[in-house]
């Protein structure tokens, strides 16, 4: 079993919807972010990935920790991810870049579709629902 270290972002619009992304030639929607380079901090890696994937530049102080989670990788067999997940408001529109094929908004309170990554289903969406119930 391979273990990948990643950083990912819960980017929420003004209506509380969560931005999801789908990479080219894959089926699962997931959080924006990606694998960390050797020696790279989670924040530095996430900011790099957000810029590459969405042409998004966020100040690091806008990213608040949501949690550290382990889940099966969505698109790689025999692989798990160790994900440091952050949350931030997204104040403006973004468009897919780099390897991204599609963006989708998901209301955390709504029914979960079967094309969501395990990290979302097992950890992130339940945590977001806890926060909104407060």
Q: Is the pLDDT confidence value at 13 over 90?
A: yes
> Could you tell me how far CA 26 lies from the centroid of its own chain?
15
State residue 91's pLDDT score. 79
Q: Which domains, from first to last, does the chain contain? A: 2-133 (3.90.79.10)
CA distance 97 to 84: 22
Residue 9: closest CA among 52, 60, 50, 69? 50
CA distance 19 to 47: 16
Is pTM beyond 0.85? Reply is yes
Residue 89: closest CA among 18, 6, 20? 18
Q: Is the pLDDT confidence value at 134 over 70?
A: no
State residue 111's pLDDT score. 87
Q: Is the pLDDT confidence value at 131 over 70?
A: yes
What is the tens place of the pLDDT at every residue in 24-52?
999 999 999 999 999 999 999 999 999 99
What is the tens place of the pLDDT at every residue in 60-85?
999 999 999 999 999 889 999 999 99
């Amino acid at each position: 079993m391979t273990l990948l270290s990643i950083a990912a972002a819960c980017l929420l619009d003004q209506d509380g919807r969560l931005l999801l992304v789908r990479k080219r030639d894959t089926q699962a929607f997931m959080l924006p972010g990606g694998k960390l380079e050797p020696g790279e901090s989670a924040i530095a890696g996430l900011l790099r990935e957000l810029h590459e994937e969405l042409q998004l530049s966020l100040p690091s102080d806008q990213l608040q920790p949501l949690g550290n989670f382990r889940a099966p990788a969505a698109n790689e067999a025999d692989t798990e991810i160790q994900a440091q997940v952050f949350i931030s408001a997204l104040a403006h529109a973004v468009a897919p870049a780099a390897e991204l094929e599609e963006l989708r908004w998901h209301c955390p309170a709504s029914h979960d579709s079967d094309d969501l990554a395990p990290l979302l289903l097992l950890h992130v969406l339940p945590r977001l629902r806890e926060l909104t119930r407060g």
